[in-house]
Structures are given as structure tokens and as C-alpha cells.
Structure 1
Amino acid sequence: MGTVVNKNQFELLAPGGDIESIKAAIVAGADAIYCGLDNFNARNRATNLTFENLNGIIKLAHQYDCKIFLTLNIIILESEIPALIRLLNKLVNTKVDGVIVQDLGLFYILKEHFPTLDVHASTQTNTHNEGQIQFLHQLTASRVNLSRELNIHEIKHLAQFGRQHNVLMEVFVHGSYCIGFSGLCYISSVRNGNSGNRGRCSQPCRDQYQTTDAGKDYPLNMKDNSAYLDMAALADAGVYSLKVEGRIKKSHYVHTVVDSWRKQIDNYCQSGEVLTDTTGLYTVFNRDFSNAYLQGDINKSMFIDNPRDHSANHFSKIYSCTSTEQVKQVKRKLYDDKTEIINTVDAQTKDLDISINSLSVSVAGSEGELLSVTISTPNETCTITSSSPLIKAGKHSLDEATVTKWANSFANADHYVASVELTKLDDGLFIPYKEQTAIKEQVAFILNGSRPTVSPVELPKLAVQQRDSKATPSLNVLISSQADIALAQDDQVNVYYQLPEAMHSNLAKMVSLFNSNSALIPWFPAILIGDNYQAAVEFMKSIKPVRIVTNNNGVGFAASQLGIKWIAGPQMNVTNSYSLKCLKEEFNCAGSFISNEIKQQQMKQIVKPDGFELFYSIYHPIMLLTSRQCLFHQTVGCKKKRFDDKCLRKCDKSASILSMKESSFVVDKQRGDHNSLYSPENYLNLDAIKDNAHLFDGYMVDLRDIKTLTQTALDKPALVNAFRSQLNGDVETTALYEEVSPTTMAQYRKGL
């Protein structure tokens, strides 16, 4: 027998895409459920809930000691802020147990104006290092959903670090793997405007492509994640929340997976032993399973060349089927088993009621007496009286229509008014409006569990800070090769040098490079895991840069602690004014790039803080996703069976894949960086310069050597001069479009 563990050490967190799935998760034994409303959540394809459904769901879940967390985990557009505030003003007076958030502006709004709501950081925040946990903790996040790509040793380190800072760790233990790091995947957004950061991912990674050199038709399709057999390792790591993915899955799937994990957790806590029977998990939808990320063994077997249900194939192998008839028998059994599960779930959930509590109101009184209001719920009855007696009415009286309307306003998130009884109230009487309001407030207090309701918040109007449109914006150039350092000799441009993601092995080299080239400005990547993050911090301490740009908020946090001027990079996904306020006020950030996912109409409403710089990238290779997996295994092939630290440090390779619609994508691996997927055409947007003269203080030109189809006859110094001429307004834009082609600016036209 193994070590017995306290059951309360773990939370089993289940998906709830619709009401039936939520009910299925409750009866299967979930400790908590995450679900979304029609808006502001990252599973737009799920059925989701109405606000009225939400309150009934909360009531039902709490009857089973199950918590409800609401997903508000998308990036927010400026135009959506008023609707978001209206939602939060209602949500704050419900009994929801927490909200799950991605957007920095929403983090800020919750911290400043809705501090009673418990805040969780979504997987979309792509959290994988200590600095990010500190960053999110400062924004009041009580828990963080860690990146799916982390191994158990990295998870254990962050879980221990998080507990030291009162932040709990949440880990995906079952469901879909994404090929790219969450929050940094733009392939769906670039391809058709359906952004994963807005909950609209069309899953192009699951699409069929033209057969690759490695013989694969689905080169980006990964098996599903399952840590079912890793229960002991998760317990040892100190993980709190075990999260099941699947808000677009059906109720029988949710029930089966949650029930299996409930039994696993309970059995391990009681006996210290791990269950090994995965039959139930393979019976419902799966793409076969892998725990390779968790094991730190990133290998080619994590892929599967079929995005559809693997169940029949799995059991055909288990039963050693050798004929078509035997396979048919397996499929018939699977159908029967799933039907039995569906019937079982229906039977267990059919009597679960999500209606909110009824409220009966009785109003009574005669002239000279106090007005009496009795409210009755299924759980209690109480009477409230006015402070002053009823008097004969003058112009206004407590007639039936007035009192009925007033009594109906007693309804709240948990109660609806079922009846209003007025037979004991005499006609032609009146009490002052302030007394009616006072009674209504007392009723609200009682119905809210004898707690004050939270008054509606109105955000103060932001003071517009426009830049001097006569001043020429700065030209900022990004490089990643020492061969291009000569560009930094031009004192009319700011030259940024992208640091490698393998910072630990490159630390001495990078320190030497920047000490020898003081004009270079460090540009930090979005992914810095483990020792590579620590090396990034040591790098800043060593060279003490005047300013940096970072796409990793953990580096931003460290920079703020070190007193280093820092700029939030384009992969920080900034799309609204409150994200800018968050960066400046919470972390002393000096400026930010605005996301390339939004269009001109969506960015023109953004208000920047006083003394804060805004930037926009007008030319760059379009990164579609970054992966911790090797993308060459499935494309052109790779002699190595697994991706390891040596691959990260030394591999330098490029390839391409072609979709069935003949759209090509560039697979690129730079030395010291993870694998990435790029659009075939670079982004070139000169319209942004004239469209946003009031907004942007500087524009970026990315001259890194990513091998896309975009070609230019100009060498890099000449290209820099051409962009400088554009910013100075010296030349027509058409010339540069002719010299650099093919290019696209579709994102700027379509937006989110």
C-alpha cells in the first residue's frame, strides 16, 4: 500500500459546455466546474449558458458541494468594456465561486473595482515560469492554469513556488493537446479571422494537409493528453486542481471522464495506489492518449495521423481483430456501451433542477399602521416593516399596479417573484419613496444571505492622451543575427536583438554580445521555461539595459522589480485601454505594442495613459504558432526520435506544408528557439502609419531571417531607409509594396 493522501489536497475540475454536461459532471463527482456564458469566453463553439441559467446552475452545484467558475477568458476589445462592466455588476451579486481570465485589462478591472470576485488565470496566459506567477499574483490571481507543455519536474517547482506566494496550481490532466502554446497561437486568426484568443479557434491543426515527405496527412494533429496513470506524480508535485478539458464534448463524455478521475483520486487518497484500467476513457471520444509532455519525453509518438475518434481502433487492437467482421463487432459493442452510458447519465440527471428559488411577497397595512412586507422563500419567511405609518395618499398612492411592480423588483440572481399578495393592504395609502427604497434594500440584504449587495460600478472616463502628430514616430528594427548588428550604428533607428529561448546555454554569449554593442536593445521571447527564465533575469542584472521589450510577462515583472524600463511586446496580446493602465500602474511599464490581431477601427478607440508609449509592428513574418514539439517529425522527417534540450539549442531548419486548399505554411526552427509555424507571406501595413498618427509613438520592422515566400531586392540597410522614408512621409507607399512582395495585411482589414 502507498502513502494515504488527504482528499482535500485535490480539486477535480470538470468542463461544462452546456447544461446537460454540467449536470453530468455534478453527478459524476466533480469538485468544481468551469463554464461560460454566451459572451466573453474561450469556447465560442460550446452551447454555453445564459445569465439566468448560470444562477440555477450555481444553486444546483452548491447543493452537491461543487463550485462553479465562470470563464471570461478572452482578450477584450475596447468597444466591449461597457457590456463587460454590466455583466460584472450582475455577476458580483451572484454566488459564483470564481472567474477565469486572460485579458490584462480585465485583470485590472477586477482588482480595482470587483475585489470580491475570486480570480483565476486562464491557460491562455501561457504561464510557465516563476515571474509569470508573481505577475499574476500581483493581479490577485489565486490560482494559475499552467502551460500544458510542462513536465512534472517543472510543474512541481512552480507548484511549490506558487504555494509560497499563495497561488495554487491547476494542471490539465485529460483532453485535447494543442500543438502550439496557448495564447500564442494565431493560425486560425490569420487564416480566417477566428482567433483562439477570442474563443473562435477553427482548429486548423486538425485539418488534412497534402501528404508530407514523412508520409503524414495530418502533420499538426496530436494525440489527446491523459495523465490518468500519473496520479502519484501529480500528488507529489503538489498540484491542487486536476482539470479535464472538453467544453465542446457531450454529456456522456464528461460523465465518463469525470467519473474515472473521481475514482482515481478517491482510490489514491484512500490506498496510495493508482488505478490502471483505462477502458472507460477509451470508450468515449479520444485521439489515443499521450502523457509525454508530463513525462518530459517530447517524441514523435505524440502525433496521430487521424483527428477522429480512435476508440474503435484501440479496442480492435485490444481484441486482436483480424477481420472486417471482428472490427464491426467492436464498433457495435462501442455503440452499445456509449448508449448505456447515455442512458445512465440521463437517468441520474433527469431530476436535477436548475430553476432558481421562488419568492412570495405579501404586503399589508392600514392607515396609521406600519407597512408590513412578508417575504417567503422555500427556506425561510421574514417580515419587514416601514419606519413610519401609512398615511392617506395625495397625488400618489400604493395602488395595485405600483405595489406589484415594486414587489417584483425584489427578485435577484437567486430568486424570482412567484406571487404578490395585496389583499391585506388598504386602498389609498402611501409611505415616502425613501421608505420604499429602504424596504427594498432590506429585502435585498436578506435574500443575499444577510450580506450587503455590491453597488453597480461605473468606470471613470479615461482622459485622452494624444501624441504630437507633427513629431515623427520612432523606427524600431528587430534582428536576431550578429551579421545585422551594423544596423545599430544608425542613430535614427532603435535596433532590438531577439534573445534566444534557450537563454541558459546562451547567457555568457548574450552578455558578451550586449556588452560589446551598447546600442542594442534586448527583445525577450514569449517562451522562457525553467533555467531559461532564470538566465533571462541574470542577463538583465548583468548588463543593466536602459530598456527592453518583452513578450513574456514574467520578464516584465522582473524588469519592474529591477527598475528597468520595459515595453510589452506584440505577443502580450494587448487590445484595450485597461490593459495599458494595468501595465503602467501595476508594473511600471513604459509602453506597449498593440496586438496585430485587431483592425484600425478596433484600435482607434484605445486611450493610452499619460507618458506611456505605444508601438505597432508594420512589417514582420507572421508567426502562426510556437510549439514545444518538433514540427519536422511529421513534415520532412527527423532522424531524432524526440525533441530535447540539444535540439532547442542547436537545430536550425526550415520546411513547408501545404493544405488541401493549397495554402502553404512555413515550418521554421531557429537555433536556440522552439519550432514555429509561419504564414507564407510577411505582414506589410503602411496604412497603419497614416491611420493611427494620433496613437502610435513608434513602429517596428522585423528583419529576422525567417524563410517565407516574401522577397525583396533591397538589402537590410536599404530596407531600413525605405521604411524611414515612409515614416517621414517622403515617398509614396506603392513603391515599397512593389519592392517587398508578396505581402498581406488581412488582419488589419478583418480584425477580431
Structure 2
Amino acid sequence: MIKPELLAPAGDLEKLKMAVIYGADAVYLGGESFGLRKASKNFTLKEMKEGIDFAHERDRKVYVTLNIIPHDEDLIGIEEYLKDLRKIKVDGVLVADPGMFVKVRNTIQDMPIHLSTQASATNYETVMFWYNLGVRRIVLARELSLNEIKGIIKRIPEDLEIETFVHGAMCISYSGRCLLSNYMAGRDSNRGGCAHPCRWKYFLMEEERKGQYFPVYEDDKGTFIFNSKDLCMIEHIPELVKAGISSFKIEGRVKSQYYVATVVRSYRMALDEYLKDPNNYVYKPQWLDEIKKASYRDFTTGFYFNKPSGKDQVYTSSSYIRNYDFVGLVLDYDDKTRLATVSQRNRMFVGDEIEIFGPNKDFVTQRIEKMWNEFGEEIEVAPHPEQIVKIEMKQRVEPWDIIRKDRGSDSIG
């Protein structure tokens, strides 16, 4: 039995550090060009180097996405960029397009190449085609069942790794190859500019009855017919490990720092618990409960166990469920005074009931009794973004611990 890699998204430098601290074995990120997530902040080369150094110091890996489906104009400057990636010691790159593969192979021959899910690898012959060209990790298409994944893994060489998505948003188009965004908003999803039209509201109109809109589902306000539930496989860690999957991938480069920490932490705890003693592993519902304290849609297991049906869609809203706010990040703690120095992320009030959690440990609950600003003045509320405050703590906390609160628990506001 192999120990799978837990692979987390890093939309910016802060999220990279959070993913590493909270238990990711590796992160994937995009630079300012050639990747599929223009909506995330992404990385300059300087930021990428800082992130890679941070990860490597902790024995973690960093992969860079080059997974656009490029036109000729999109390949301008790629050779220089690839040489820069090698200089800053990137651990691998993801490609989806044969032309991009050739550019990487001809420019930096020693760089590990991972095949992106955008390449739609769904069968053994396709997997072996890319293996014979030199690819040593394949991110399979999300449209495969667990039995199909196991069938492929049983036949491939030992030095070929299989990566699959285990958590995050699902795309209604095959392996993300969507044309709706380009057609409706002029933004090419296959070149990084997806406008997410799958989350928009749609109506049905008969050709001869212009202006008469018929609900596609049982709701006279319209329906979100393309709006998939989010993938979540945390309840199925044993099946994923036994299948021989090498890397468990979490989606979400445009998600928040808090989301990344929360989801990575739960998967880290579940995976470690299983690997510690597979024969006596017991799934803990609180791992999923914790994930639900970040923003989420209702969950599905995608294609893993059966073909998705209407039950795997959300027809009423495209909004996320968000019951908790990330209100603070612990920067420091003084054992003598029991004061935590905190960077504010959403407003906090004296009297608020808060939860504090960190990597590989359960959360604790307390009330904010006293709070001071950076000038030592006692305050009742911390309203300013990233305001530095000190909070009296009931229990010891550590840097990188996160403070959250129930969204309905403002004591004043």
C-alpha cells in the first residue's frame, strides 16, 4: 500500500503557506501566464521562489500549471519562462496540450511533466501513450468511476503515478473543456478566463412563444440546471488508498486561505488516521463537519461510484453555504500574559464566542473577554481588515492557528 500525496491548491503565497502548514504534501499553483485560473491572484516569479523555498524547507513539493489549451500567440515567451521555473527549482509542471508538452520537453528536458485533467485521459491506452512520451504522472479525467481507475492502475508501470480529484467544485463540461464561457461572455475557459456560466440562472423558452419563460425545474424563479454539487470523498479514504491512487487532489485555487486550511486539515487527519492502522480505521463524522465550516455547496461523490444524476445538481441557488467566518489568524502568543497577537480577517467583538483550531488538532471554544489594538488601547470591536489586535486566551495557541466564529454570533453587530 502506497502513502498517497495530499495535494492542495495555492492561489497566492499566503494560501501556499497555509496549505503547507495545515498538512499538504504538495501544492499546485499558477504563474502569471499559461495556467487556467486567471481569477486567482497567481504568482510572480519572485513570489513563486519564496513559496518554493518555504515548501522545500518543510520537505514539500510545488507544481506549476501550464495547462491552457494554447493558440500560437499564447506560447510566446514560454521557453524563457520554463528556464526560470527550472532555476527556482519547481518540482513539476502540468500540461494538457501536446504542443505545450513539446515545448517543455525540448526546453527543460529534466523537468517532471504531469498530464492535466484537461487532457481528458480516460483509458489505459491514452495513459500509456503519454507514459511512452515521458510523462510520469497522469491526472485522470474526473469522469471515471473508481472501478475504472483501479483497472487502469493495475495495468500501468510502477513508476507511473495516478492523480485524481477528491474534493472541490465540479465542472459540467467534460474534464473542464467548456465553450459556454467563450460563447456567452467572450472569456475562453480553456485559456484561463472561465466566467462560470454553469452557475448562472436559466429558463426554457419555446420558439413560437417569445418572452414566455417556462421553468426547467419546479421553481418559477428559474433554475441552475448546470450547477453541480461539490465533490467530497473524505468518507471514502480507504477505497481511494486501496485503489492505488498516488495523489489526492483538492480543487480551489480561487478559494480563500481559510477554505484551504480547513479542507486540507480534515483530509490530512482522515488520511493519517487510516494509514496509521488501516484494519482498525474508523471514519469520524467531525472531519466532514469541519469541512462544512468553510464555504461549500452540498456534496456529491461525482463519478466515483455511479454516473451522476439529477440528485447531484443544485437547482435552487448557485450560492455557497457559509455558516462561519474566518475572523483572525494567530501571529504570536505570549505564555506569560496569555495574550495572542492576531491579524484580523473579519470583524470581532468583545463577547463573541469563537473557535480556534490549528493543524492536526481539535478546535477549542472560548469567549473574547478582552481585546487591545496595536497601541495597547482596550477596544470593543476590531473592524479593520488585517488590523493587529491582542486577545486574551483561555488556552495556549500557536502561530498559524485560525480563529473563526458562527456567522450568527455577533455579540454587538
Give the distance between the partners of 1:256 and 1:230, measured in 2 at CA.
18
Aligned residues of 2:79 and 2:107 also touching (Cα < 8 A) = no
- Deviation digits for residues 442-486 of structure 1 (CA, Å, limit 9, x no counterpart): xxxxxxxxxxxxxxxxxxxxxxxxxxxxxxxxxxxxxxxxxxxxx
Change (3 A) 1:212 1:162: farther
Give the distance between the partners of 2:172 and 2:354, measured in 1 at CA.
29
Post-superposition offset of 1:88: 1.0
- Deviation digits for residues 495-543 of structure 1 (CA, Å, limit 9, x no counterpart): xxxxxxxxxxxxxxxxxxxxxxxxxxxxxxxxxxxxxxxxxxxxxxxxx
2:312 is equivalent to residue 302 of structure 1? yes
2:245 is equivalent to residue 239 of structure 1? yes
Change (3 A) 1:312 1:81: closer
In the alignment, which residue of structure 2 is the partner of 1:253? 259
Aligned residues of 1:55 and 1:94 also touching (Cα < 8 A) = yes
Post-superposition offset of 1:341: 5.8
Aligned residues of 1:148 and 1:172 also touching (Cα < 8 A) = yes
Please give the residue correspondences for 1:700-715 in structure 2 after superposition, counting only pairs within 5 Å.
none
Post-superposition offset of 1:291: 0.8
Aligned residues of 1:232 and 1:274 also touching (Cα < 8 A) = no
Change (3 A) 1:299 1:337: farther
Please give the residue correspondences for 1:297-376 in structure 2 after superposition, counting only pairs within 5 Å.
297-305=307-315, 306-312=317-323, 340=356, 348-349=399-400
Aligned residues of 1:34 and 1:69 also touching (Cα < 8 A) = yes
In the alignment, which residue of structure 2 is the partner of 1:749? none
Give the distance between the partners of 2:73 and 2:354, measured in 1 at CA.
45
Post-superposition offset of 1:74: 0.5
Please give the residue correspondences for 1:678-693 in structure 2 after superposition, counting only pairs within 5 Å.
none
Report the identity percentage: 32
In the alignment, which residue of structure 2 is the partner of 1:197? 190
In the alignment, which residue of structure 1 is the partner of 2:218? 215
In the alignment, which residue of structure 2 is the partner of 1:225? 231
Change (3 A) 1:226 1:35: same
Aligned residues of 1:23 and 1:349 also touching (Cα < 8 A) = no
- Within the candidate set 89, 98, 103, 2:83 is matched to 89
Post-superposition offset of 1:163: 3.4
2:275 is equivalent to residue 281 of structure 1? no
Aligned residues of 1:223 and 1:288 also touching (Cα < 8 A) = yes
Post-superposition offset of 1:181: 0.9
Please give the residue correspondences for 1:524-563 in structure 2 after superposition, counting only pairs within 5 Å.
none
Change (3 A) 1:271 1:144: same
Please give the residue correspondences for 1:255-654 in structure 2 after superposition, counting only pairs within 5 Å.
255-272=261-278, 273-277=281-285, 278-305=288-315, 306-312=317-323, 340=356, 348-349=399-400
Amino acid at match of 1:299: S
Give the distance between the partners of 1:106 and 1:75, measured in 2 at CA.
8
Structure 2 residue matching 1:348: 3-state secondary structure: coil
Change (3 A) 1:189 1:112: same
Give me the CA root mean square deviation.
2.4
Say how many residue pairs are matched: 321
Aligned residues of 2:6 and 2:249 also touching (Cα < 8 A) = yes
Give the distance between the partners of 1:284 and 1:227, measured in 2 at CA.
16
Amino acid at match of 1:281: I
Post-superposition offset of 1:274: 4.4
TM-score, normalised by the number of residues in structure 1: 0.41
Aligned residues of 1:283 and 1:337 also touching (Cα < 8 A) = no
Change (3 A) 1:11 1:127: same
2:58 is equivalent to residue 64 of structure 1? yes
TM-score, normalised by the number of residues in structure 2: 0.73
Change (3 A) 1:337 1:311: farther
In the alignment, which residue of structure 2 is the partner of 1:142? 136
Please give the residue correspondences for 1:119-158 in structure 2 after superposition, counting only pairs within 5 Å.
119-158=113-152
Aligned residues of 2:26 and 2:61 also touching (Cα < 8 A) = yes
Post-superposition offset of 1:54: 0.8
Moved more, 249-258 or 139-148: 139-148
- Deviation digits for residues 380-424 of structure 1 (CA, Å, limit 9, x no counterpart): xxxxxxxxxxxxxxxxxxxxxxxxxxxxxxxxxxxxxxxxxxxxx
Amino acid at match of 1:275: Y
Structure 1 residue matching 2:175: 3-state secondary structure: coil
Change (3 A) 1:341 1:207: farther
- Within the candidate set 160, 173, 176, 1:167 is matched to 160
Structure 2 residue matching 1:268: 3-state secondary structure: helix
Aligned residues of 1:111 and 1:139 also touching (Cα < 8 A) = no
> Over alpha carbons, which structure has the higher Rg?
1
Post-superposition offset of 1:338: 8.5
Change (3 A) 1:98 1:223: same
Post-superposition offset of 1:29: 0.8
In the alignment, which residue of structure 2 is the partner of 1:51? 45
Q: For structure 2, which runs of at least 5 residues remain unmatched after alignment?
A: 204-213, 325-347, 364-385, 387-397, 402-413
Aligned residues of 1:102 and 1:121 also touching (Cα < 8 A) = yes
Change (3 A) 1:228 1:26: same
Change (3 A) 1:132 1:212: farther
Amino acid at match of 2:112: D
Post-superposition offset of 1:78: 1.6
Post-superposition offset of 1:299: 2.1
